[in-house]
Amino acid sequence: MNKIFKILIVAVLALSTFGCFQGAPKKKPPIHLIKNMDTQGKVKPYRASNLFENGSGMRMPVEGTVARGLLKDDEAYYFGKTSTGDFVKKSPVTFTTAVLNRGQDRFNIFCVPCHGELGDGKGPITNYKYPIPPTSYHDDRLRNVPDGELFNVVSNGIRNMPSHKEQIPVPDRWAIVAYVRALQRSQNAKLTDIPANQQQNIK
C-alpha cells in the first residue's frame, strides 16, 4: 500500500468520526439527500392555498355537518321541547331515587348559593347585595310550569339568572329538575301526602 493511500484512509476515518461535529449546534438544516416521504407538501390549518378559489386551505364543512357524538336529534332530551317548540310537560328522564340523589348533589353545588337549600330564594348570595333576589320555587306558577321550562331555565338562564349549560351536562340538568320538583313537594306537603295511619301523629 502506498503512503498516500494510507494517509487518505486515516483522513477519511478522522473525518467520519470527528468531521461532522455531531451534536454541535448548526444554523442550516441538515442535508437530506433521500427524502422518501419524510417531508411532504401539505396544507396546514389557516394556511393559504392556491388550489381553491377562495385562496384558503381550509374547507367549510358541508352544510348540515354534525361533529361525531354531537348530534342532538332528541328535542325533548336536549332542549326540553317538543317538535313544535313547546316545553315538554313531563321530563323525558324518569325520576328514580338515583336521579333524585344526583339532583340533590348537583343542586347543592350549583343552585344553593343563590336559591338556598330549600329553594326559597334565600341563599347566602342575598347577604351580598345580589341585584335581583333569586326566585323562590314555592308558588303556584312555578309548581305548575312544565318540566321542560325548568330545564330551559337551568340551561339558558332567565333574565338575571345566568345560564348553566356550560357547567352542567344534560343528564345532570334533568336530575336537578327532578330535585326542584322534590323540593316543591316537600315545601307544600298536605296531610294527605302522609300515610293514613301516620296522619294522627301530625298536629
The residues that touch ligand HEC, with contacts defined as CB under 6 A, are: 110-111, 113-115, 125, 132, 134-135, 137, 142, 150, 153-154, 158-162, 164, 176, 180
Among candidate residues 61, 101, 104, 88, the one with its CA nearest the CA of residue 152: 88
With respect to ligand HEC, which residue has the nearer C-beta, 158 or 194?
158
With respect to ligand HEC, which residue has the nearer C-beta, 77 or 110?
110
With respect to ligand HEC, which residue has the nearer C-beta, 30 or 131?
131
127: Cα separation from own chain's centroid: 31
Calpha distance 184→136 (Å, rounded): 10
State the nearest-atom distance from the C-beta of 118 to ligand HEC, in Å: 13
With respect to ligand HEC, which residue has the nearer C-beta, 19 or 157?
157
* C-alpha pair distances (Å), 119 with each of 13, 130, 138, 169: 85, 16, 8, 21
Calpha distance 104→110 (Å, rounded): 10
State the nearest-atom distance from the C-beta of 191 to ligand HEC, in Å: 27
With respect to ligand HEC, which residue has the nearer C-beta, 91 or 135?
135
State the nearest-atom distance from the C-beta of 128 to ligand HEC, in Å: 11
Among candidate residues 171, 154, 141, 158, the one with its CA nearest the CA of residue 111: 154
Phi-psi region of 121 (alpha: psi -120 to 50; beta: other; left: phi over 0): left
State the nearest-atom distance from the C-beta of 85 to ligand HEC, in Å: 17
State the nearest-atom distance from the C-beta of 167 to ligand HEC, in Å: 9
Q: Retrieve residue 158's grid coordinates.
A: 332567565
